[in-house]
Structure formats: structure tokens, C-alpha cells
Structure 1
Amino acid sequence: MKSLGVNWFIEGTLDFEYKKYVLLDYLQEINRHFDKSKLYPNLSDLVFHYNNLISFKQNKVTLQNAFPQRLTEADIAAVKLTYKKIVEDDNSMQEIEQIITYAMTKMNPAIQTGHEIYNFVESRLNIDPVGIMPLLPYDGYFSLHNGKDKINLLYEYHFTIFEDKNDKYRGINIQLIDTYEHSLINTPEAIKLNLIRKNKHLPNPAVYYVHSDITFPLEQTLLPVAKRCLVKYISDAA
């Protein structure tokens, strides 16, 4: 996919018409993917750039650190440089503000479209626990059935926890370990019994059957949404 640099709106030539062309070219490809219900990495990339513009607009320190500014003083003792701030009525600043405002106006509808697709995929997704669940279901397996596909995908998952300065967040690492044909014999319960026999390190694993009634692009849509929904489902139930 086409991508934008982190500071695309301030790097290189500060020309509104040129930046407008770069942005619209990027959004055109994003929307082509959305038209095919392909969400990722397009949606997360788009949200990142939108949030970056908001942060930029709200926090002028970010702008002052990122923009190539005019050096005024060298603090040798601290081995650092200090810069003269670009004032609000500076021509470059005005051009940047115009670019940011236009970009946010154009990005917002695309983000809304992406969220609508996400919500639709989530509404067609069901998560069913299989058998008796362990007290700590943060390691286990899930079987993924994608609409009318005949093949189910079996993943092993492990929860991860990461922190920022305000909160803890849960993520999930997954690994594809097997595939099997969807049939009356290969029930979720039968798959769980087979997992217990094969993998002694998890005597009573958490196993989930994740299935959609509509076929979606696997890597770009169903799997990323399924992972996020599974994290939420397990976190809410634990």
C-alpha cells in the first residue's frame, strides 16, 4: 500500500497544492482497499496519521521539534541545541496549518468508513468457548472459520501485557498451528480433545471457536478483527 511519512505535511516542499495531491493519492488507495472490505493495515495507518495531525495541532512543541527550525544557541555544557520558535504568523506556519486542516477534513470520512466496515465485520463474528474453561484463559487456542470457506484455521494464542504511563493494555500473539476441513466430524469439541492429546503443556487449554457467517478477506480483515474481539471477549470474561 502507498504510505505517508510520519511528518509528511512538514517535510520537503511546503506547498499546499502539492501536499493536497500527495494526500488525495494516499486516500484514493485507502478507499480502494475499503471498497473490497480490506481493513488492515489501512485503517490503523490512517488513524495514526489523523491522530498525529491532532497532536500536532494541539501541541506546538511537537511542531517545533519536528520542523527544521532556525538555530539560535548552542548549549555546549548540556550538549544540546535550542531553537528559535517559529511564530504563529510565519508564512511556513500558515501553510502548515492549511495543510493540516485540509488533511483532517479529508481523512475523517475515510476513517468513519473504516469503522463502519469494522463494526459490520464484528457484528458477523461469533466467539464460542469450547468445553470447560481454565481459570486463567490467557494462553490457549482458537479455531477460525471464515464464512463459506471449507478450511478452518487453528491458532495458538498467548496474551501479552504492555503498559504506558497511564494504563495497562492486553495484546495477543498468535501462531497458525494447523488447518482442518470444516465438517460434522471435526467439531470444536473434537478439535479440543485432539489438542489435549497432542499438547501436554496445556492439559486443559482455553479453546474458542471463532466464526463468521460471511466470507471476508482473511489477513486484511477477518483475522485482525477476530484477534481484537477475542482479546475483548476474554478480558471481559476473566
Structure 2
Amino acid sequence: MEKLNNDWLTDGLIDFEYKKYTLLAYFQEVRKSFNKVELYPVLNELIQHYDNLNKLKEGKDSIESKFPKEVNGLDVARLKIFYKQMLHDDEIMKELEDIVEYALPMFKGTLEEGKEIYEFVETQCEVIPIGLLPLYTDEGYFFLGNPTGELTVHRYQMMKFESPAQTYRGINTTRIDKINKGIGETFENLKLNLIKKFADLPNPATYLIQSKMIFPYQPTLVPIAKRLLIKHISTA
């Protein structure tokens, strides 16, 4: 689906009806994705737009910074004067405020829809350790499966991001194989095959993330599986 530009609020014509049409078209596309249970990157985009609007409303971000700084064919001096005049125009500022007030509940409601879908998909997935887990679980493998019997094999590595207020955990993953698990073949045997193939991880943490239902693979199942694995390892 077509993205909504980060500067959609101040890009182009600043007119309530025009922006309303732009938003309605965007949310129509979002709901098409949700109807197909496709969550990403749509959900991340919604969160970003919603956060940006809240910051604007709370005065944490300057509307002035949202205006483009360069336009081909105009000199810098005229451009600065033009935007300064626009931002001191009470009618334009009122129009922006009306657009923000209209957009915020739309983003909030659509985000809630997306989160409900996310939570449903999450309830349909289970993280199961394969064999004995080593003490070091920040690197290893996971199998991602669904009711069709197909499995994708991924290598993962946990990461930490630190900020002054909090430490966040992320994950890097690489898909390394796609297999059809044969009758009588165990996940323990599949894990042994990985150990033989990749000698740099002689005792890897290995998990099965099994979905009870078939969901879109890249837009939904993979990102939710990664978040489930982060949660599982972080709380183990």
C-alpha cells in the first residue's frame, strides 16, 4: 500500500477538506491491509504518525520544523520570508489545529484495531524450546511453522539498545532455510543438523515458534514471532 508521508500535515495544500480526503484514502488502504491480516509495516507507520500528532498538539514539536526547507526555483531569502509569513497567519494555524484534532482520533481508533489483530495473532503462536537450552540464549536458531507443515529456519542474535531512561532489547534475524518436516523427523534431529552445518554455534539455543493458523508470512508472522522470542528470552 502507498505510505502516508511523514510531512503529510504540512506538505502541499493546507486545507481541512483536502487533508480529510488524504486521510480517508490512507485509512481505506490501511483497513485493506488489516482485512488481510497484514500488520507490518502499517502498524509501525500508524504509531509514528500518531506520536507525531500528539507531540504537535502538546507543543513538544514545532510546526515550523515540519515545513520543507528547500524548494527548487526559489532563493533561500524568499523561502524563509514565505514560511515565516505562513506560520504567523492565524487562519493557516487554525486550519492545522483543526486537521490535527480531526486526525488524532482516526489514528487512535485504527491503531486499536491493529493492536487487536496483533494480540489475536500472538495468542495463536507458541514458543517451544528445542532440547536443553544453554546458559547463553542471546544467539541461536528458531524454526517458524504453521499448520501447512512448512518450516522456515532462522538464525537470531539478541541486541541491547540503551538510552538514559531505559534499556531496550532487539533482535537480528537471518532466514537460512525452508524445509518440509518429514513424518517421524524430530526437531531435535533438525537442531543436530544445524549444529553440523554451522560449527560456530556448537551448543545453540533453539526454539520452535508454531502458529496454529495460517497468517501472512512477512507482513505478520515473522515480525510477531521475533517479538515473541524477545519476550520469551527476556523473561526466561
How high is the TM-score relative to the length of structure 1?
A: 0.87
Q: Does 1:42 align with 2:50?
A: no
Question: What's the counterpart of residue 2 of structure 2?
Answer: 2
Q: Structure 1's 142 and 60: CA in aligned 2 closer, same or farther, altered over 3 A?
A: closer
Classify the secondary structure of the residue corresponding to 2:62.
helix
Question: What's the counterpart of residue 116 of structure 2?
Answer: 116
Structure 2 matches for 1:114-193, cutoff 5 A?
A: 114-146=114-146, 148-193=147-192
Deviation, 1:11, is 1.9
Distance in 2 of aligned mates of 1:225 and 1:185: 28
Distance in 2 of aligned mates of 1:209 and 1:100: 44
Question: What's the counterpart of residue 227 of structure 1?
Answer: 226
Question: What's the counterpart of residue 18 of structure 1?
Answer: 18
Q: Is the 8 A contact 2:55 2:61 kept in 1?
A: no
Question: What's the counterpart of residue 28 of structure 1?
Answer: 28
Deviation, 1:61, is 4.2
Deviation, 1:113, is 0.9
Distance in 2 of aligned mates of 1:53 and 1:221: 26
Deviation, 1:65, is 2.5
Question: What's the counterpart of residue 96 of structure 1?
Answer: 96
Structure 1 gap ranges (5+) = 75-82
How high is the TM-score relative to the length of structure 2?
A: 0.88
Distance in 1 of aligned mates of 2:130 and 2:164: 36
Q: Structure 1's 168 and 126: CA in aligned 2 closer, same or farther, altered over 3 A?
A: same
Superposition CA RMSD, Å: 2.0
Deviation, 1:226, is 0.5
Deviation, 1:160, is 1.8
Q: Structure 1's 211 and 104: CA in aligned 2 closer, same or farther, altered over 3 A?
A: same
- Which has the larger share of helix? 2
Deviation, 1:60, is 5.1
Distance in 1 of aligned mates of 2:65 and 2:207: 47
Q: Is the 8 A contact 1:144 1:211 kept in 2?
A: yes
Q: Is the 8 A contact 2:86 2:92 kept in 1?
A: no
Question: What's the counterpart of residue 213 of structure 2?
Answer: 214
Q: Is the 8 A contact 1:64 1:85 kept in 2?
A: no
Distance in 1 of aligned mates of 2:157 and 2:145: 20
Distance in 2 of aligned mates of 1:115 and 1:195: 35
Distance in 1 of aligned mates of 2:60 and 2:92: 14
Classify the secondary structure of the residue corresponding to 2:14.
coil
Deviations 1:147-201 (A, max 9, x none): x223110001111222333222111111111121133333211111111222211
User: Identity of counterpart residues, as a percentage?
Assistant: 42
Distance in 2 of aligned mates of 1:121 and 1:169: 23
Distance in 1 of aligned mates of 2:95 and 2:228: 41
Structure 2 gap ranges (5+) = 70-76, 78-83
Distance in 2 of aligned mates of 1:186 and 1:24: 51
Q: How many residues align?
A: 223
Where does structure 1 differ by over 6 angstroms across 4 or more consecutive aligned residues?
Answer: none
- Which has the larger share of strand? 1
Q: Structure 1's 68 and 29: CA in aligned 2 closer, same or farther, altered over 3 A?
A: closer
Distance in 2 of aligned mates of 1:68 and 1:149: 49
Deviation, 1:63, is 1.6
Distance in 1 of aligned mates of 2:68 and 2:207: 52
Distance in 1 of aligned mates of 2:68 and 2:37: 39
Q: Is the 8 A contact 2:16 2:99 kept in 1?
A: yes
